[in-house]
C-alpha cells in the first residue's frame, strides 16, 4: 500500500530532478516543507518570481533581472579583460574574491561531443565577437579543471589566437575534476593571481 499522497509523490519526483538531490534528501525536504506550509508558500512564490524575472544578460550571459546586467553596466569595470566561465555559479565564486575587476562571459557549458555539445551550442561565437569589438587586452579562461573544461579552454585558445588578444588560463589549487563554484576564496584568489598564458 502506498502511504504517500499523490501530491507528495509528485513533489518528490520534481525535487529528485534537481542536481545533488536523491530520494533520501528529497524525502527530508518534502517532510520539512509540508510541516511548514507558510514557508513552503514563500518558497513557491520566490521560485515563481525568479522564473518570471531572471534571464541571461544579452552581452555576457550572466543571470540578471535587468539587461544588460549590473557587471556590464558598471563603468568602473575593466572591459579589456574578459573572464570566461562555464556557468554563472563560477562567476559568482570568482566575484566573491573581490580580486577580479574585469567583465565576464558565460559559455553555458563545455564542449562535450559525446553528448552533442559543440561550439554552436555554447556562446563561443558571441565571445569571439566581443573580443574583436571590444579590443580585449586579455581573455582569462576559467573553465573547470575537468576533461571537458580543459578541452574547451584549449579550443578557445586556438579560436582566439587570430584576434591577437593575450589568452591566459587560471592556475588551479584544485584537484583534477573539481569545480570552481565549490572552491574557497583563498584558493580562487591564488588561482586568479597565478594564471598562465596559453599562447
34-92 pLDDT, tens digit per residue, is 999 999 999 999 999 999 999 999 999 999 999 999 999 999 999 999 999 999 999 99
Exposed e or buried b per residue across 44-79, where buried means at least 16 C-beta atoms within 10 angstroms of its C-beta: eeeeeeeeeeeebbebbbbbbeeeebebbeeeebee
Residue pair 182/96 in contact (Cβ under 8 Å)? The answer is no
Beta bridge partners of 63: 56
* Domains within the chain, CATH numbers bracketed: 6-53 (1.10.8.420), 76-197 (3.40.1360.10)
pLDDT digits (tens, 9 = 90+) for 18-43: 999 999 999 999 999 999 999 999 99
Residue pair 55/67 in contact (Cβ under 8 Å)? The answer is yes
- Structure confidence at residue 193 (pLDDT): 74
Beta bridge partners of 177: none
- Structure confidence at residue 114 (pLDDT): 92
Amino acid at each position: 500500500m502506498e502511504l504517500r499522497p499523490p501530491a507528495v509523490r509528485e513533489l518528490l519526483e520534481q525535487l529528485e530532478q534537481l542536481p545533488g538531490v536523491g530520494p533520501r534528501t528529497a524525502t527530508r525536504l518534502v517532510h520539512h516543507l509540508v510541516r511548514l506550509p507558510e514557508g513552503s508558500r514563500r518558497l513557491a512564490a520566490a521560485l515563481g518570481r525568479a522564473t518570471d524575472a531572471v534571464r541571461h544578460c544579452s552581452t555576457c550571459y550572466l543571470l540578471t533581472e535587468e539587461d544588460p546586467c549590473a557587471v556590464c553596466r558598471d563603468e568602473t569595470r575593466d572591459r579589456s579583460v574578459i573572464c570566461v566561465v562555464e556557468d554563472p555559479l563560477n562567476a559568482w565564486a570568482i566575484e566573491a574574491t573581490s580580486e577580479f575587476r574585469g567583465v565576464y562571459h558565460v559559455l553555458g557549458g563545455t564542449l562535450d561531443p559525446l553528448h552533442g555539445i559543440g561550439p554552436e551550442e555554447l556562446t563561443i561565437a558571441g565571445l569571439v565577437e566581443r573580443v574583436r569589438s571590444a579590443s580585449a587586452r586579455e581573455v582569462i579562461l576559467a573553465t573547470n579543471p575537468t576533461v571537458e573544461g580543459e578541452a574547451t579552454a584549449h579550443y578557445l585558445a586556438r579560436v582566439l589566437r587570430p584576434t591577437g588578444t593575450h589568452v591566459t588560463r587560471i592556475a588551479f589549487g584544485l584537484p583534477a575534476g573539481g569545480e570552481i563554484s565549490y572552491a574557497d576564496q583563498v584558493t580562487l584568489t591564488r588561482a586568479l593571481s597565478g594564471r598562465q598564458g596559453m599562447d
